[in-house]
Structure formats: C-alpha cells, structure tokens
Chain A
Amino acid sequence: MAAGFKTAEPLEYHRSFLKENCRPDGRELSEFRTTTLNIGSISTADGSALVKVGNTTVICGIKAELTNPTVEAPGKGYIVPNVDLPPLCSSRFRPGPPSEQAQAASQFVADVIESSEVIQTEDLCIERGKLCWVLYCDLMCLDYDGNLLDACTIALLAALKNTKLPEVTISTETPEVNLAKTRGLHIHKHPVSASFCVFDDSILIVDPTAEEESLKTAQLTVVTDEEDRLCTVHKPGGTSLSGEKLQECISRATARQREIQKLIDKVTRSVKTAQ
C-alpha cells in the first residue's frame, strides 16, 4: 500500500523519511548522488562532456565559430551558453520554445561564466577588432530527475577543459584555419555548483530529485571556485533562510567543489593517457 501512499500523499511520504534523517532513495540529507563523467564523446564538437548526477543526464557540446568582435570590446571574443530541456528528457516539457525553467537555467549558466571568469574572453580574440572566436556552449538535458543546475555547471566545465581550438592565421584578407595544430583553452577558475532544497521552511537537503524538487518550499544554489570564493548565491525566492543555514550550505558547497575538481582531473588524465 506504500506505493498508494507515495502518489496520493507525496509530502507525507517524504516527511516520514526526513524525520529519520534519510530519504526515499536511501541517501542522507547531505549526500550527493553518484556522479559519472564522460569527456570527448562527440567528435563533431570542438569539446564535449556528458555528466550523470544520479539519473539526471546532461550533455554539453561546444562549437567554435569565427566572427568579428563588437565595437565596444574589440579585444574580446564571445561565449554563448544555452540550456535546452527537450520533450525527450521528461514528460513535463512540451516541444516548442524553451520553457521558463530552461531560460532561467541558461541565464544562470551565463551568470556563472561571467562571475567566475572561468575563461578570459580576451583569450578568444584572434585579431584585435577584426576576428575572434565565439564559443557556442549548447547544454542539453537527456534525462531530467532534478538538480539540473549542478549537472549543467559540471558538464560545461568539463567540456571547456576538453575544447580544442584550431590555429588561425590572417595572412591575406581571409583567415587561414589549420586544423592540424590545435590549442586548448586556458581555464582560470573551476566553478562548481551545489544545489539545496528546503522542506517545510526548515529541513535542508542536498541534490534534490525531481520529486523532492516538486515539494520544495525554497531552493538555493551556491557556486564556489577552488579559492573558496563564492561566484553565485542563487536563491530564486521561496521561504526565508537563516544565516547559519546559509553558512552550512556554503561549507557543503566548498567540499563538493573539491570532489568534483578531483573527478574532472582524474577523467581528463585517463582520457589523455588513452589517446
């Protein structure tokens, strides 16, 4: 009869688990789901990564193209992130223009890139005022089971580390692209995000699943980099949060940043040795 209880009274069902400090899938309140990473699996992209946080799967493909820089910022290239939630990843998304959640996620990723300065857009400039790179970072969710923002930041960071840009020389008027010689991107910072959900204005849980996300009263996402500086504290409304709980989340986020950075380095090394 438990299955009946779960769909008929989802909030009661989750509360009964949270009373014993555990969750329906057996995790503690501050435990992340297993995170697996797969780098460079798309050969048509200049850089790609696939991340699975529990069931939530996000794939990021980066395509570099040539364009001319803006008049105001002649020495800077562009980086254009976009998150898409296709109808494939969950039955709640309909085909058509991106939903508010997809647009909010795109804006979140754009803010994280800008705030954390993960790469300097000056590195993307080829010829000041004439020619520069534009990195289209396309993030797509293949399986939506909650906590989209964490999976997106990890996928983006791993894909940026995997990106190879061909060398471009401007001898005559038209640029010359030499695919043989490629160079990687210089990654200045490693921003990693940790998302939390608040239940009944008090209980704080980490890495919520889609079900837990639908029952939340507030949601908080903290992005930190390796020098423990905060890049984003994104709490889009909901019930208020005290200072101590906010501090609790920040310390959990810094621990998470260490874990993920180790994971990305390990996988990048294993891919390098494999080539």
Chain B
Amino acid sequence: MPRNSGIILSSRCVSGGDIERRTSSHAAVWFITFPCAMPTDNKRVRGPEVSQSPSLFLCEPAGALPSHGPRADGRQRDQVDVRPVFVRCGLVSQAKGSAYIEAGNTKLMCCVYGPRETERKDETDMKCGRLTTDMRFAPFSCPERGSWIQGSQDKDLSLMLHESLQPAVCLHKYPRSQIEVNVMVLENSGSVLAHAVTCASLALADAGIEMYDLVLGCSIRQDGTSYVVDPTYTEENRCSSVSSENQGGLTVAFLPSLNQISGLQSDGEMAEETLTAGVRTCIEGCYKLYPVIQQALAKAVRKAAPPPSES
C-alpha cells in the first residue's frame, strides 16, 4: 500500500494550556503517489531517473488483515493494548539532551539543542524563547523508499509535534533564545507521531529544559465499531473491510500529571461520541506508558550524577 494515497481529510485540533477546542480542518486533499521521479537534485549522488519499488510487482499480494478477533501481532482489539516500549536517554554525545524509543518495530530518535541564539529575531523573542521542531523520515524507514528532500507530510508532522510540545515547555525562562527539537524516524511501523511526541518530551527533560509536564502520545485506529490502540503500519494503512462510517485515526498528545491535552490530530470521518471515546482510550494508553517513561528518565538522571547528600 503506497504510503499516502486515497482521500485524507485531516482536521487538526490545537489547544493551549487547558482543553479549548479550536478545530481548523483542511479541505479534502487528494495525494496520488507517482513512481518517485524526483526533481534533479544535484546536491546528492543521483541514480536512475525513475525507479519502482519491488512491492508493486509482488506475485502473491499481502493477505488482507482480519478485521475482528486477535490482531496480527497477538495484541487484543478494542482494548488498551499498547506495544512494549524500549526507551533510553542521553545517547547522543553532541546533543544537550537526547532520547531513543522503540515500540515494536517503530524506532525513533530525538535530539534537543539549545537554548541557543535565534537567527531571526522578532518582538516576541524578547520576552519568551522560541521552540523549533524538525521531524524527518529516514529514506529507508518506510516500506516504500522516501526521498531525502523533506516531503509535505514530514512538515505537517513537524508542525503537529510543535503544537503538542509548545504548551508544556516553560519558554518564558529562556528569553531571546531558541530550543531546537530534531526527531528522526529510523523505522516507521505505525503511530509515529504519538511516539515522536513522547520521545521529544523525554529529550527535552534530559536536556534540563524546564517543563510544566512531560508530554505522552498515543494513537488509535477506528474501524467501524472496533478500534485498535497503537496501530502498526499495516493496520494504519489498511483500507477498511466493512465500509460503514467511523473510519479514521486519532492521535492525542497528553500531559499526564496536569491531566491536559496539548495536541489532537484526527483523520478520517467519525461520529462525535466515537471521537470522545477514542480520546478517552488514548488518555488511558498514555497513563499506561507513563511509568516506563519516568523510570527511563530516573535512570538517566542517576547515571549523570549520584543524588546530592540530603542537607
């Protein structure tokens, strides 16, 4: 299934500190993938003009996924069944703070640089700092090879990541400076934005940047009445078997201890109550993830230095 084909109706909900829903939805946008004929990019070694992925010519097409009963990797449907997560902090020597997360086959790395001088200064920089995010996919991260040039989907994800992190960082403590968050997806096996949010907030905490709270991400895929939590790549891109309404995906960025939602992205078409039920499931998924993240952070802090003697 090529990465982004078919109708994507993306509606994005952005909220500042507390839950206040300002929905701005884009018109239906049709993405058609061409065989990747990239514009002539003379800053890189160039291969042939046009090349197709072998997955287009498979002799036996991949089997259709069961839409009820246990999921492909043994997890349960309609339950908050999140993939086990492997997390490490402080792996990149050059970065102020870094984090690496592995959920199933999804592998993500995030580095934080700063606070450093802002190149472009404007009025708002005087009072509070500026957060910049950059999310990229490695060309080998998806079943279909991506190009080195950052596509529009990567830019969109960077923007959503920025909206999810911005409310949680105490930017007023870093006037006139800029904090850069760079996320690199090494392998995309589903719910990339959710794990990127978690990994980015962990890297910020590891960098010693003051934050109101960690930000955890969780996503679900709604298919008719049943839903799957933390969907894998195939579940995310599977066309639905039963064509009823309530088809779509939902990603929530959640501040666990302040119990606030800082970012919500949903695509597809769902009824009101399905959406709110989905948000509640995602919040439950985030709470499941919270202890693992705290423990990883604690390990990184202890490794950095033993606790000061209690005065």
Instruction: Report the nearest A residue to B113, measured CB to CB.
Output: A91
Residues of chain B within 8 A of A62, CB atoms compared: 140
The A79-104 residues at the B interface (CB cut-off 8 A) are: 80-82, 84, 86-91, 95, 97-98, 103
The A125-181 residues at the B interface (CB cut-off 8 A) are: 134, 136, 138, 140, 142-145, 166, 168, 174-179
Contact in complex: B48, A78 (CB < 8 Å): yes
Stretch of B165-173, B183-191, B259-267 that contacts chain A: B183-191
Instruction: Report the nearest B residue to A48, measured CB to CB.
Output: B140
Instruction: Report the nearest A residue to B52, measured CB to CB.
Output: A66
Q: Is A42 an interface residue when CB atoms closer than 8 A count as contact?
A: yes
User: What is the bound-complex CA distance between A59 and B184, given in angstroms?
Assistant: 12
Say which residue of B57, B109, B140, B183 sits within 8 Å of A174 (CB atoms). Answer: B57
- B205 to chain A minimum Cβ distance, whole angstroms, is 18
Contact in complex: A107, B109 (CB < 8 Å): no
Contact in complex: A63, B184 (CB < 8 Å): no
Assuming the contacts A82-B148, A90-B94, asked whether A42 and B57 have C-beta atoms less than 8 A apart, the reply is no
Contact in complex: B46, A140 (CB < 8 Å): no
Instruction: Report the nearest B residue to A170, measured CB to CB.
Output: B57
Assuming the contacts A98-B43, A143-B91, A145-B93, asked whether A66 and B187 have C-beta atoms less than 8 A apart, the reply is no
Assuming the contacts A138-B139, A138-B140, asked whether A168 and B54 have C-beta atoms less than 8 A apart, the reply is yes
Residues of chain B within 8 A of A178, CB atoms compared: 59
Contact in complex: B148, A84 (CB < 8 Å): yes
The A177-211 residues at the B interface (CB cut-off 8 A) are: 177-179, 210
Assuming the contacts A67-B50, A86-B136, A134-B47, asked whether A179 and B58 have C-beta atoms less than 8 A apart, the reply is yes
Residues of chain A within 8 A of B51, CB atoms compared: 65-67, 134
Say which residue of B45, B138, B184 sits within 8 Å of A106 (CB atoms). Answer: B45
Residues of chain B within 8 A of A89, CB atoms compared: 92, 94, 111
Residues of chain A within 8 A of B43, CB atoms compared: 97-98, 103
Q: Is A7 an interface residue when CB atoms closer than 8 A count as contact?
A: no
Q: Is A61 an interface residue when CB atoms closer than 8 A count as contact?
A: yes
Over the window 77-121 of chain B, the binary record of Cβ atoms lying under 8 Å from chain A Cβ atoms (1 yes, 0 no) is 000000000000001111100000000010101110100100000
Interface of B is mostly: loop
Say which residue of A55, A65, A87, A168 sits within 8 Å of B180 (CB atoms). Answer: A87
Q: Is B15 an interface residue when CB atoms closer than 8 A count as contact?
A: no
Q: Determine which residue in A41, A65, A66, A140 has the highest number of CB atoms from chain B within 10 A of its CB, and name it.
A: A65
User: What is the bound-complex CA distance between A212 and B109, given in angstroms?
Assistant: 27
Q: Is B164 an interface residue when CB atoms closer than 8 A count as contact?
A: no
Q: Is A275 an interface residue when CB atoms closer than 8 A count as contact?
A: no
Over the window 26-61 of chain B, the binary record of Cβ atoms lying under 8 Å from chain A Cβ atoms (1 yes, 0 no) is 000000000000000001111110111111011100
The B133-174 residues at the A interface (CB cut-off 8 A) are: 134, 136, 138-143, 145, 148
- A142 to chain B minimum Cβ distance, whole angstroms, is 6
Q: Please give the number of chain B residues whose Cβ is less than 8 angstroms from any Cβ of chain A in the complex.
A: 45
The A26-66 residues at the B interface (CB cut-off 8 A) are: 41-45, 48, 55, 57, 59, 61-66
Residues of chain B within 8 A of A134, CB atoms compared: 47-48, 51
Q: Is B182 an interface residue when CB atoms closer than 8 A count as contact?
A: yes
Contact in complex: A66, B54 (CB < 8 Å): yes
Contact in complex: A176, B57 (CB < 8 Å): yes
Q: Is A110 an interface residue when CB atoms closer than 8 A count as contact?
A: yes
User: What is the bound-complex CA distance between A145 and B91, given in angstroms?
Assistant: 13
User: What is the bound-complex CA distance between A42 and B143, given in angstroms?
Assistant: 11
Contact in complex: B109, A142 (CB < 8 Å): yes
Say which residue of A42, A80, A84, A176 sits within 8 Å of B186 (CB atoms). Answer: A42
Say which residue of A68, A140, A143, A177 sits within 8 Å of B138 (CB atoms). Answer: A140
Contact in complex: A44, B48 (CB < 8 Å): no
Contact in complex: B140, A106 (CB < 8 Å): no
Residues of chain A within 8 A of B94, CB atoms compared: 55, 89-91, 143-145, 210
User: What is the bound-complex CA distance between A55 and B99, given in angstroms?
Assistant: 15
- B249 to chain A minimum Cβ distance, whole angstroms, is 20
Residues of B within 8 A of A (CB): 43-48, 50-55, 57-59, 91-95, 105, 107, 109-111, 113, 116, 134, 136, 138-143, 145, 148, 180, 182-184, 186-189
Known: A66-B57, A142-B184, A177-B59. 10 other contacts (CB 8 A): A44-B140, A67-B51, A86-B184, A89-B92, A107-B45, A134-B48, A134-B51, A140-B184, A143-B92, A168-B57
18 sampled A-B residue pairs with Cβ under 8 A: A42-B141, A44-B189, A63-B145, A66-B57, A67-B50, A67-B51, A80-B45, A87-B180, A87-B182, A88-B184, A91-B94, A98-B44, A110-B45, A143-B91, A143-B93, A143-B94, A174-B57, A210-B94
Residues of A within 8 A of B (CB): 41-45, 48, 55, 57, 59, 61-68, 70, 78, 80-82, 84, 86-91, 95, 97-98, 103, 106-107, 110, 134, 136, 138, 140, 142-145, 166, 168, 174-179, 210
